Amino acid sequence: MAAFLFLLFLLSEAASDFIVVPVHPGEDAILPCRAADVSIRAVEWTRPDLDPPEYVLFYRDGHLDTTHLHPSYKDRVDLVDRELKDGDVSLILKNVRRQDRGTYECRVASGGFTHTKRAILDSEPIRTIRLQITDSNSGHDNNENSTPVGRYVGLGVGFALLFLTGQLILDRCLFAQYRLC
């Protein structure tokens, strides 16, 4: 039983850190991200598959920095709230294209962030989001290789329930065996 609860805890934690955002081509998408610390000096949105040091969005000291902005995001990205109220650093991606599909990471720097030549923040992402481009007719992802998080959680819970059921059957058999002795 303890193994089941531990597995369920791990799966729920993993699912909470990874969000799938479905959107149709041509629509605007909001990729949600909220920082715990509200004294934010810099916000960075990246895609791991982009060549460094290019990024999707970099915002520091009240201004968008386009120095190393990836060309495909020019004039298509902004923050939901440039004042970063309550730590909201969510990204708006305008006029979504099929090639926008992929994993996005949100990072922030608080308080003592200092300006460097390299804009990319070296911290761990506070949010990872998978942008899923859906077919406007069916509502399904056009990428046949897509693997939504929910599928993994469902499989994990299914295996955990199967394990738990097997453990209960084994326990009953052992109990019955000892009872007959």
Question: Of 98, 94, 77, 79, nearest to 28 (Cα)?
Answer: 94
Type and span of the H or E element at 22: strand 18-23
**What is the pTM for the complete model shown?**
0.66
Residue 73 CA: distances (Å) to CA of 7, 30, 53, 77, 103: 39, 14, 14, 6, 15
Q: Count the neighbouring beta carbons within 10 Å of the beta carbon of residue 137.
A: 7
Would you write out the chain's pLDDT as a tens digit for each of its 181 residues? 444 434 334 444 444 468 999 999 999 999 999 999 888 999 999 999 887 768 999 999 889 999 889 999 999 999 999 999 899 999 999 999 999 999 999 999 987 655 554 455 778 899 999 999 998 665 555 544 444 445 555 555 555 545 655 566 766 655 566 665 5
DSSP state of 135: P
Task: Confirm or reject CATH 2.60.40.10 for domain 19-145, answering yes or no.
Answer: yes
